[in-house]
Structure 1
Amino acid sequence: MLTGKNMSTIYGKCAEGMTYCNDLLIWSRFEEAGYATAYGEDYLSLPDTFSRYQGFAAPPTHHYLRPFFLTGENQQGPLLCTKKIPSAVNVLNYAADFAQTYVNESFFGFFWTNSYSHNYGHSPTLLDEDIVNLFRKLTSLGVMNNTIVVFASDHGIRYGVMRLPVESYYEERLPMLFMWIPTEFRNSHSESYINSVQNQFRLTTPYDFYMTFWDILQKGNSQLTVPVSEACPRCTSLFSPIPKDRNCADAMVSKQWCSCHTLTKVSEHEDGAKQSVALACVEFKRRRTNTKDDRHSGRPTTVVTKGNETNQSMPWERPSSPTAEKFKASQRKAVCRKDPELFSEKGVVMIEYLDHVASYGLCVGRTYIKIA
């Protein structure tokens, strides 16, 4: 959404720290165009922007919330707090103050909250009233009259009991995205607005949203040359027409994350289902070989659903006991064979741990061995 780049480019450019790739982020282009910029994100201990990629050595935007959270984030029951206020609420308050300060100027703000929804046991509903209050405040301040406001997530629930129903297949593939288009924009760019309304019913990706940022910049400067997205050269702005028959290949969505499949329930007693489970178990055991066993692994039973259009077998796990660990293995049906020992590396695409997020693979030194 912020770079339009392939993940391999991000990993390479940002390996030594986010400072070295800040120029890739779209807020740098908004800053060059004269916009006031801001970035705020809570939960500094998460292994993402601030630790895995070593964070920013200098403020990446004009206004930067991290120094405030460095004064101390503390867990208070289910809430992560900074001073006497939940960290996520601090982010929302900061976003409102930023918008109020620049309400009559051009500004770009990116604000992200993690502490109410990232981990097992978190409850996003606790933040509902604060989010409603944010939008009410933005409305009362007049911000919504001339500002495009986006409310989005990066994915749905990825662990726990909510991963057991077949609906969870879509949870991690169809993130939430709501966009408010102000009346001023609807009147001055009516065709763009109509396109955005129609595109609600089209296949779109974060790369399209990246191109939307560029489209906004170009509407303020018609001489601006808009680049194509490295990761999706055919992606386009959400304000432009997107084909009704667009598919995952057109949008550069990998088969792993494509949601355009017809899923049908398959009996766990079917031969194909049994073969899928056998292959997944063989691969799981292979990946566990020579790694430190810091948990007692239960033996899960598996329910398999298939994507008929792609012949992909997608096992969905249910625990065999309250203490059993739960996994999901994605496979390509084409390599399923009668003898599971004939397993091919191309067979099991991915094994995911469904109980918690990245907490039990820390003892594994070699990243490629980790099970999600």
Structure 2
Amino acid sequence: MLKVIYNEKDQTYKLHKNYPNAACCYKQILRAGARTTADSKYKLLSCVTFPQDFVVPPDVEAVITECRRPYSSKVLQKDGFSFVHPQKPDPTPSSSPEERPSVLLWGIDSLSRMNFELTMPLTYKYFREQPWYELQGYNKMGDNTFPNLMAILTGFNQTRSYSKCRPTAVGGLDACPMIWKRFKAEGYATAYAEDWASISTFDYLKKGFRRRPTDVYGRPLVLALEKELKKKYIKEIPYCLGRKSSAEYIYDLAEQFTEVHKNRSFFGMFWTNSFSHNDFSLPSAMDARMVKYMRTLDHNGIMQNTIIIFFSDHGTRFGLLRKLDSGFLEERLPVIYIRLPKWIRDKYPEFLDNLKANKNRLTSPYDIHATLKHILELDTPAEQLPRPEGCPTCHSVFQAVSLSRNCSLAGIDDHWCSCGGFTEVSSTDQMAKTIAEQLVEAINQFLISLKGTQKCRHLKLDKIMSVHRKGNSSVYLIQLSISPGGGFLEASAEWNPKTQKISTSVPSISRLDSYGTQSRCVQVKEAKKFCVC
């Protein structure tokens, strides 16, 4: 019954009623929390009746609308809309817009390179026919979304991300040196939005942001949509909200943001979880729509001055796909494509040559952080560019990556490293049994060391599924199940034949099945994949 019409000339929005006699009103969505609830509360203002082609006020960024038949109290249609209004003029304009490219991070959770090609063939075909450049050796550096995105946004490893940015403390993330702050300081308009509020990167078992982190911030809209509109769940995900999929609200916001700010520099990150996190086949439902989004960005002229990074944080981490022989690589090699504007390809042909050369070389999220900093200093010599704190040997992907690069030089811990071959070891071998038992005991001790895990039960080795030795090293990759709960784990352990002891990083151990509600009694994120209440 309603559609939003954007006027490019004066950068305003009109609410047009397809049925002129319908009685419609809007409720403005505002951020409403404070301190511990700053990022989890919203409020709706009273419903304001509006006429045909009503011009949305510039202070209204998001609304819930209700439409009724004349003289009827029954709501016929309820919708949610976002409105991106232009920011204040750029305080440090370039002499030419071609000297300052905009940046758009277009993210999808849990999508490997392999599964992207299988489930999104139309988008894959589009990228191959357009000037997009793939990094097929892009390897995750941590277990889940938070460490991999923090490596991109801050250049920190997981330990430093928690100590410096304190995501579990109120206001901790506000003080964190996110890369969008660097762009903001250079006069860029900034945006960040993510769907599925309960598991979003900075709010799941974390405190989120006390103040809005960017000029455009999508969380209040998402909170309201999930509460106020009818929801349809698929695999326990709020896949549809009202008449659209959850992801479309995020990517529609990206369209608005880029369109409104296309004549000035901008930095935006738009991240979705709702069509990929719990079901490896669901991305197929967004395939045709994704091509349409990309074509719209091109049609709107956004690609003329924007570096776009289409990427994921990791592949499928649990479930049937992860248990296949290819599951090891599936989890570790997320999809990533990069598109450069034509003027950059023409002005810096060496960037293009290096991107092409890097296609089959080992890269990591730290390299993307270095690339984002490189974008702010395109003419700075390579040796003078800043390096990520978490990986001083990492650098921009606009520079050639060494063919001999290993995971250590890319900032990737051994457990997550996809390089190197494995040799199968008998699961009945006494050494294999000893390693497995010590791994389970290490998990028990890890749980005991954490606060708030008193209700977690003592774990025992149930079964050894497989054992593989990495090359000629003393590192072994073991898949095993534990009891109670039947958790299916994969761990790397270094075996010392002299002491008959292992060394391992318990937080890096992978859980290959969903823990569901098994760990409902703990709120410690590190314990969730192990704890059985």
TM-score w.r.t. length of structure 1: 0.85
Task: Please show how residues 145-160 of structure 1 align to structure 2 within 5 Å.
Answer: 145-160=304-319
Look up the match of 2:207.
54
Tell whether 2:282 aligns with 1:123. Answer: yes
Q: Distance in 2 between matches of 1:370 and 1:220?
A: 46
**DSSP 3-state at the match of 1:313:** strand
Find the partner of 2:159 among 2, 5, 8: 8
Deviations 1:161-220 (A, max 9, x none): 222223211223222111112222110111122112111222111111111111111127
Q: Distance in 2 between matches of 1:302 and 1:280?
A: 14
Counting matched residue pairs gives 363
Deviations 1:295-318 (A, max 9, x none): 998933411222114332112358
Tell me whether 105-114 or 173-182 shows the greater mean CA deviation: 173-182
**DSSP 3-state at the match of 1:218:** coil
Look up the match of 1:264.
423
Tell me whether 116-125 or 22-31 shows the greater mean CA deviation: 116-125
Distance 1:207 1:298, change over 3 A: closer
Q: Distance in 2 between matches of 1:248 and 1:68?
A: 40
Whether the 8 Å contact between 1:328 and 1:354 is mirrored in structure 2 is: yes
Distance 1:293 1:49, change over 3 A: closer
2:332 partner amino acid: R
Find the partner of 1:328 among 486, 490, 496: 490
**DSSP 3-state at the match of 2:309:** strand
Shift of 1:26: 0.7
Task: Please show how residues 172-321 of structure 1 align to structure 2 within 5 Å.
Answer: 172-219=331-378, 226-283=385-442, 292=455, 299-317=462-480
Look up the match of 1:163.
322
Tell whether 2:264 aligns with 1:105. Answer: yes
Structure number with greater CO (CA < 8 Å, separation at least 6) is 2
Q: Distance in 1 between matches of 2:523 and 2:348?
A: 53
Q: Distance in 2 between matches of 1:23 and 1:275?
A: 42
Q: Distance in 2 between matches of 1:106 and 1:369?
A: 42
Distance 1:17 1:125, change over 3 A: farther
2:273 partner amino acid: N
Q: Distance in 2 between matches of 1:168 and 1:33?
A: 42
Look up the match of 1:37.
190
Whether the 8 Å contact between 2:464 and 2:479 is mirrored in structure 1 is: no
Shift of 1:236: 1.0
Find the partner of 1:65 among 196, 218, 235: 218
Shift of 1:279: 3.6
Shift of 1:335: 5.0
Distance 1:283 1:36, change over 3 A: closer
Deviations 1:265-291 (A, max 9, x none): 334344544443344455456667895
% same residue = 32
Q: Distance in 1 between matches of 2:268 and 2:372?
A: 12
Q: Distance in 1 between matches of 2:270 and 2:408?
A: 31
Whether the 8 Å contact between 1:41 and 1:112 is mirrored in structure 2 is: yes
Tell me whether 130-139 or 44-53 shows the greater mean CA deviation: 44-53
Q: Distance in 2 between matches of 1:328 and 1:316?
A: 4
Distance 1:293 1:19, change over 3 A: closer
**DSSP 3-state at the match of 1:256:** helix
Find the partner of 2:232 among 56, 76, 80: 76
2:514 partner amino acid: H
Stretches of structure 1 lacking an aligned partner (at least 5 in a row): none
Whether the 8 Å contact between 1:148 and 1:179 is mirrored in structure 2 is: yes
**DSSP 3-state at the match of 1:330:** strand
Shift of 1:328: 2.2
**DSSP 3-state at the match of 1:333:** strand
Shift of 1:61: 1.1
Whether the 8 Å contact between 1:277 and 1:302 is mirrored in structure 2 is: no
Deviations 1:59-117 (A, max 9, x none): 21111111111213164131433443222111111111211222232111101001112
Shift of 1:138: 1.0
Find the partner of 1:354 among 494, 512, 525: 512
**DSSP 3-state at the match of 2:298:** helix
